A and B are shown apart, each in its own frame.
Chain A
Amino acid sequence: HLVESGGALVQPGGSLRLSCIASGFTFSRSWMSWVRQTPGRGLEWVGSIKEDGSDKYYVDSVRGRFTISRDNTKNSLDLQMSNLRGEDTAVYYCATGMASLWGQGTLVTVSS
């Protein structure tokens, strides 16, 4: 079970932090990922983080602006987004490493 929160309307150039709380599986043993979806661009893998947080991978379009982190003591996954652009507008999903489990999604809208 994955539950995201934090989606909101934010101005271009602004920042936002998304969170995901996991339950029902061993979070500390799972790669975790963020995936986003827009009507125009479909599904896009945003980034992934290793079980212990030691390795992180990002898609080129967000590298340097987005940061994934996790707290295995709280079964939580975060996505810190900065310098947001209109093309970052999407539903953001938290997912297990190879997307065997997805959250319900949270909507981020970047607009002035």
Chain B
Amino acid sequence: DVVMTQSPLSLPVTLGQPASISCRSSQSLVHGDGNTDLNWFHQRPGQSPRRLINKVSNRDSGVPDRFSGSGSGTDFTLKISRVEAEDVGLYYCMQGAHWPNTFGQGTKLEIK
């Protein structure tokens, strides 16, 4: 299975400051069709995960533009330009290029 490795695992951030989470895959996530199947999710305490970003950099409907995704091949990044209180929780990357889909271990974002 493809191993997804996130860093850092804990991310204390001051409100209004930027934040960045890295995700590295053990294999290239480029599909045969040329698309790269890397997704980002946010899970607030007590809630289900919510997809934020699909195919590396496409924001899902309703996701604020302070969230952005980038990367290629095996290295990917989720950036939050200015952290707000509602951004606390766990962030996961997930690859869908190779079966079974696999998730990173999660990064816990908290407010300093």
Q: Name A residues whose Cβ lies closer than 8 Å to a Cβ of B.
A: 42-45, 57, 59-60, 93, 98-100, 102-105
Contacts and interface: CB of A to CB of B under 8 A. Distances in A.
A103 B50 CA distance: 10
Nearest to A43: B103
A5 to B, nearest CB: 15
B55 to A, nearest CB: 9
B106 A42 contact: yes
A45 B49 contact: no
A93 B94 CA distance: 15
A79 to B, nearest CB: 15
A40 B39 CA distance: 22
A99 B39 contact: yes
B60 A100 contact: yes
B44 interface: no
A102 B48 contact: yes
Interface residues of B, number: 19
Contacts of B50: 102
B94 A99 contact: yes
B92 to A, nearest CB: 6
B22 interface: no
B81 interface: no
A48 to B, nearest CB: 8
A57 B49 contact: no
Contact of B100 (A59, A102, A103): A59
B48 A100 contact: no
A99 B52 CA distance: 10
A98 B39 contact: yes
A42 to B, nearest CB: 6
Contacts of A104: 48
Contact of B41 (A45, A60, A99): A99
Interface in B90-112: 92, 94, 96, 99-103, 105-106
30 contacts: A42-B92, A42-B105, A42-B106, A43-B49, A43-B94, A43-B103, A43-B106, A44-B103, A45-B102, A57-B99, A57-B100, A59-B100, A93-B48, A93-B49, A98-B37, A98-B51, A98-B54, A98-B96, A99-B39, A99-B41, A99-B49, A99-B51, A99-B94, A100-B51, A100-B54, A102-B48, A102-B49, A102-B50, A103-B48, A104-B48
